Amino acid sequence: MSKSQADNITMSEGGLYSLATIGAKDVIDLAADRACDAIQQLDLSQNANRFTMADMGCADGGTSLGLVDRILSELNDTNPDITSSIIYADQPANDFNALVSIVHGRSSFDTWMNRHKNAFPLFSGASFYTQAAPENSLDFVFSATAMHWLSQKPCNLSNHVHMVGATGDEYAQFSEQARNDWETILLHRSRELRAGGKAVFANFCRDENGRYLGNTEGINMFDTFNEIWLEFLSEGAISESEYHSMTLPQYYNTVEQFSAPFDNPESPVYQAGMRLDSIETGIVRCPFARKFEQDGDVKKFADGLIPTVRSWNQSIFAAGLDPQRNQDDRRTLIEDYYGRYHQRVLDAPAGHGMDYVHAYMTISQS
């Protein structure tokens, strides 16, 4: 990924990411049984009582604290002498201050470090598009809600801001980029994992029924993003070129696309000894929409939903604005954009929300 594109993918900072994205934690909690089952299958007897795992694309680390706590507890139950290393990896532009503070207990989050004295966090600025750890050094790799970020944007879209609305050649270019990126991600993990090591990923997907993030029923969240930017365009508030630059560098694979490198004995992934143990899709309801169904508090709904959306797309949209614009102008446009989305939810809340649609998979390295 070029530096400028990579730098634009940043989550909300200062620990706000984990506070705003309760749903992302629910996704990780849903993957926890799968992760612990995979770890139980590891043969750690050769490792001199060492266990090394990585959480790739960890953001501020808050959403996976509970998972790491459970993994360490289960490991200690079977092997009280075990020493563990937890590598927290994210791209260099990530808010590492927040990550270190949260993991080391200098925040309101309850960290596993309070309970596990023989486990040590390590922090890495490595992208998952590179080898992030030495060869044959990891027992387990975890990643949630991160690998949909492409290594680069293959093109800007003419009629939408996301590949879920792309068609024709533009869709084909995104699909080809995603196919290459998935292979790259897997080949690097293949090098890092020890023989017998496992990976568990919870990756955004398009499921068997065509559902994806924010598009399970009711209003399509990505169409809303697009409609609001088109309003700005038709009002002359942004230019054509700014609208096109809003294209998000993301791709949501289908189960078939995730499985393809493992199904083909000729593929470099298969030849590197990686196997897909299992894959299934699952939906985590938007916590804000669920709460709204219970309490009917539309203001609370809009006040919760918009920050969770902003937490992951504001940096991309802001970077799409013309660099010649001054700071005040940029800030006003971005505030107006999310203000308009907020107003839409207030005016007609039914059908809004951001249900999470993931493919949960376990991969083995032979």
Q: Say whether 55 sits in a helix, a strand or coil.
A: strand
Single out the segment in contact with ligand SAM by CB under 6 A; choices: 34-42, 139-147, 206-214, 250-258: 139-147
Please name the residue ranges forming H helices in the chain: 3-8, 16-20, 22-40, 65-78, 96-103, 168-192, 221-234, 240-245, 255-263, 268-271, 287-295, 298-320, 327-347
Single out the segment in contact with ligand SAM by CB under 6 A; choices: 58-66, 218-226, 270-278, 287-295: 58-66
CB of 118: closest distance to ligand SAM in angstroms? 24
Single out the segment in contact with ligand SAM by CB under 6 A; choices: 68-76, 141-149, 235-243, 351-359: 141-149
CB of 77: closest distance to ligand SAM in angstroms? 25
**Number of C-beta neighbours around residue 338 at 10 A:** 17
Contact between 306 and ligand SAM per CB under 6 A:
no
Single out the segment in contact with ligand SAM by CB under 6 A; choices: 20-28, 248-256, 322-330, 334-342: 20-28
Paired residues of 89 in beta bridges: 56, 124
Contact between 57 and ligand SAM per CB under 6 A:
yes
Contact between 11 and ligand SAM per CB under 6 A:
yes
**Number of C-beta neighbours around residue 347 at 10 A:** 9
User: 141, 147, 129: which is closest to 184 by C-alpha?
Assistant: 129
Contact between 127 and ligand SAM per CB under 6 A:
yes
Q: Which of 149, 174, 225, 337 binds ligand SAM (CB under 6 A)?
A: 149
CB of 169: closest distance to ligand SAM in angstroms? 25
Contact between 145 and ligand SAM per CB under 6 A:
yes
Instruction: State the Cα angle at 168 between 167 and 169, rounded to 5°.
Output: 120
Q: Pull the structure tokens for residue 149.
A: 């970020």
CB of 14: closest distance to ligand SAM in angstroms? 14
Torsions phi, psi for 285 (to 5 deg): -65, 145
CA–CA dist 294, 19 (Å, integer): 21
Contact between 58 and ligand SAM per CB under 6 A:
yes
> Footprint of ligand SAM on residues 37-56 (CB under 6 A)?
56
CA–CA dist 76, 301 (Å, integer): 41
Single out the segment in contact with ligand SAM by CB under 6 A; choices: 21-29, 115-123, 215-223, 238-246: 21-29
Q: Say whether 198 sits in a helix, a strand or coil.
A: strand
CA–CA dist 95, 13 (Å, integer): 6
Single out the segment in contact with ligand SAM by CB under 6 A; choices: 88-96, 154-162, 271-279, 351-359: 88-96
Q: List, as one string, the DSSP characters of 110-163.
A: --GGGT-TTEEEEEE---TTS--S-TT-EEEEEEES-TTB-SS-----SS-SSG
Q: Which of 35, 42, 53, 59 binds ligand SAM (CB under 6 A)?
A: 59
Q: Which of 109, 128, 174, 222 binds ligand SAM (CB under 6 A)?
A: 128
Contact between 28 and ligand SAM per CB under 6 A:
yes
Which of 66/105 has CB closer to ligand SAM?
Answer: 66
Q: Count of residues binding ligand SAM (CB under 6 A)?
A: 21
Which of 82/311 has CB closer to ligand SAM?
Answer: 311
Biggest alpha carbon–alpha carbon distance for the chain: 65
Q: Which of 51, 112, 129, 232 binds ligand SAM (CB under 6 A)?
A: 129
CA–CA dist 213, 218 (Å, integer): 12
Which of 31/260 has CB closer to ligand SAM?
Answer: 31
Single out the segment in contact with ligand SAM by CB under 6 A; choices: 127-135, 163-171, 212-220, 256-264: 127-135
Paired residues of 278 in beta bridges: 362
> Footprint of ligand SAM on residues 277-296 (CB under 6 A)?
none
Q: Pull the structure tokens for residue 54.
A: 């990585």
| Footprint on this chain of ligand SAM (rule: CB under 6 A) | 9, 11, 21, 24, 28, 56-59, 63, 90-91, 94, 127-129, 144-146, 149, 312
